[in-house]
């Protein structure tokens, strides 16, 4: 399977540079997998397409002000993007700057450019711009003074309100990027969904390296997806399983919720260890030809589940997602859920209809 099979043409003017004034004013393209029929509505129409007893599952991870700036002892500028906390003061990061080698020390600067008391030391050099960095003290009490919101590189417009890059239900801090499918929800819409009898449950997946790392391998199967920390609590797993047994559909809000739920289903099925090759194993017939619904099991820890065409979904019935970058692991997951040809057709329609793309863009509901 070629990485280029997931390419498409996107006019630059369709990349949303800022959020809409009202979160749920975004457009919603609804795609029905059984009939192949599409509809074009506003995001609030989600109410009309979900049924009492359905279970919305969203990722409640909060974006940390993960972009830091500082200078080396030599005076050279360094930019640090925090990706994953390994220990209290040790992080996996991306760095921008010259000669950021092992042993390099970096003095962090505050938002005014004034040197702070926080010192970072590069303790390990990883592939490409990745590094392990150890700080001289925890960052917990210094986020607001030192950190900047890590907007994606395709957004060139400053964000007036950093909270617009957070979901309204974001809680545990830890992500380097927002789970953007959730940005469309408002308190009013969530209350309306609840009043209709639609359940809302939360999982946590701290978004990390693969949001920023393109698929560089020519063959999809050769790409190594990096693990991200995720959690599904026992109470949430129990409520999801009970609602499913009562006939509800499991509707994932975003690709991160999909990966968390499918990881939980694989763990429930007794599959342990790395999950990277599950799509390949499914396509090769190493698992059951038909995958009936699999209950989800509580877990907390890393997941390296790489979902691309060939993967058989065990938990998720429907998906709300944004429109993703070409040749990304995210569009590959969507293609696994709705089919490669269908993705091409739907994305072509979205371009023709001038939908807004990427993080601050419009949404796609796949039923």
pLDDT digits (tens, 9 = 90+) for 119-128: 999 999 998 8
Over residues 39-90, the pLDDT tens digits come to 999 999 999 999 999 999 999 999 999 899 999 999 999 999 998 888 999 9
Confidence of residue 286 (pLDDT cuts 50, 70, 90): confident
pLDDT of amino acid 56: 98
Rounded Cα distance, 252 and 322, in Å: 12
Confidence of residue 210 (pLDDT cuts 50, 70, 90): low
Confidence of residue 292 (pLDDT cuts 50, 70, 90): confident
Over residues 235-274, the pLDDT tens digits come to 999 999 999 999 999 999 999 999 999 999 999 999 888 8
- Confidence check: pLDDT of 214 > 80: no
Rounded average pLDDT over 85-104: 92
Range from 12-26, 183-197, 264-278 carrying the lowest mean pLDDT? 264-278
Range from 45-49, 215-219, 249-253, 295-299 carrying the lowest mean pLDDT? 215-219
Rounded average pLDDT over 300-323: 96
Rounded average pLDDT over 228-232: 96
Hunting for tokens 């790409």 — which residue is that?
223
Highest average pLDDT, of 129-143, 153-167, 181-195, comes from 181-195
How many CA atoms does the CB half-sphere of 214 hold within 13 Å? 12
Rounded Cα distance, 45 and 189, in Å: 10
Range from 57-66, 287-296, 346-355 carrying the lowest mean pLDDT? 287-296
Q: What region does 301 belong to: left with phi over 0, alpha with psi -120 to 50, or beta?
A: left
Rounded average pLDDT over 189-194: 98
With a pLDDT cut of 70, the percent of the chain lying above it is 98
pLDDT of amino acid 287: 78
pLDDT of amino acid 152: 87
CA dist list (Å): 55 to 124, 307, 315: 43, 22, 12
Confidence of residue 170 (pLDDT cuts 50, 70, 90): very high
State the helix-helix crossing angle for 329-338 and 340-352, rounded to 10 degrees: 110
Asked whether the beta carbons of 173 and 60 are under 8 A apart, the reply is no
User: Which residues, 6+ apart, have CB-to-CB distance to 163 below 8 Å?
Assistant: none
Give the Cα-Cα-Cα angle 53, 303, 180 (nearest 5 degrees). Answer: 60
Rounded Cα distance, 261 and 242, in Å: 15
Rounded average pLDDT over 305-321: 96
**Average pLDDT over the chain, rounded to whole?**
94
Domains located in the chain, CATH noted:
3-63+163-366 (3.40.1780.10), 67-146 (2.40.10.240)
Confidence of residue 211 (pLDDT cuts 50, 70, 90): low
Rounded average pLDDT over 225-242: 95
Rounded Cα distance, 42 and 24, in Å: 8
Rounded Cα distance, 138 and 154, in Å: 30
Range from 50-59, 289-298, 344-353 carrying the lowest mean pLDDT? 289-298
- Confidence check: pLDDT of 164 > 70: yes
- Confidence check: pLDDT of 219 > 80: yes
pLDDT of amino acid 140: 86
């Amino acid at each position: 399977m070629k990485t280029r099979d997931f390419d498409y043409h996107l006019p630059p003017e369709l990349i949303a540079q800022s959020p809409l004034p009202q979160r749920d004013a975004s457009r919603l393209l609804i795609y029905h997998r059984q009939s192949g029929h599409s509809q074009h509505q506003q995001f609030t129409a989600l109410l009309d397409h979900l049924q009492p007893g359905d279970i919305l599952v969203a990722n409640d991870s909060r974006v940390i002000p993960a972009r830091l700036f500082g200078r080396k002892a030599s005076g050279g500028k360094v930019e640090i993007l925090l990706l994953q906390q390994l220990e209290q003061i040790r992080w996996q990061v991306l760095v921008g700057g010259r000669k950021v080698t092992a042993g390099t020390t970096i003095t962090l600067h505050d938002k005014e450019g004034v040197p702070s008391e926080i010192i970072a030391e590069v303790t390990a050099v990883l592939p490409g711009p990745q590094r392990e960095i150890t700080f001289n003290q925890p960052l917990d009490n210094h986020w607001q003074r030192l950190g900047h919101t890590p907007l994606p590189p395709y957004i060139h417009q400053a964000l007036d309100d950093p909270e617009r890059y957070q979901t309204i239900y974001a809680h545990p801090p830890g992500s380097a990027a927002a789970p953007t499918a959730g940005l469309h929800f408002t308190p009013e819409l969530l209350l309306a969904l609840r009043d209709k009898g639609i359940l809302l449950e939360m999982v946590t997946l701290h978004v990390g390296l693969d949001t920023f790392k393109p698929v560089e391998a020519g063959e999809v199967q050769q790409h190594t997806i990096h693990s991200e920390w995720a959690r599904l609590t026992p109470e949430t797993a129990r409520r999801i399983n009970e609602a499913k047994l009562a006939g509800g559909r499991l509707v994932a809000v975003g690709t991160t919720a999909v990966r968390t739920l499918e990881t939980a289903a694989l763990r429930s099925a007794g599959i342990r260890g790395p999950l990277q090759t599950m799509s390949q194993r499914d396509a090769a017939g190493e698992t059951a030809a038909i995958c009936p619904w699999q209950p989800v099991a509580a877990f907390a820890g890393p997941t390296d589940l790489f979902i691309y065409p060939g993967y058989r979904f065990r938990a998720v019935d429907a998906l709300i997602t944004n429109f993703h970058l070409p040749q990304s692991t995210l569009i590959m997951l969507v293609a696994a859920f709705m089919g490669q040809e269908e993705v091409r057709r739907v994305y072509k329609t979205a371009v023709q209809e001038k939908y807004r793309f990427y993080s601050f863009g419009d949404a796609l509901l796949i039923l």
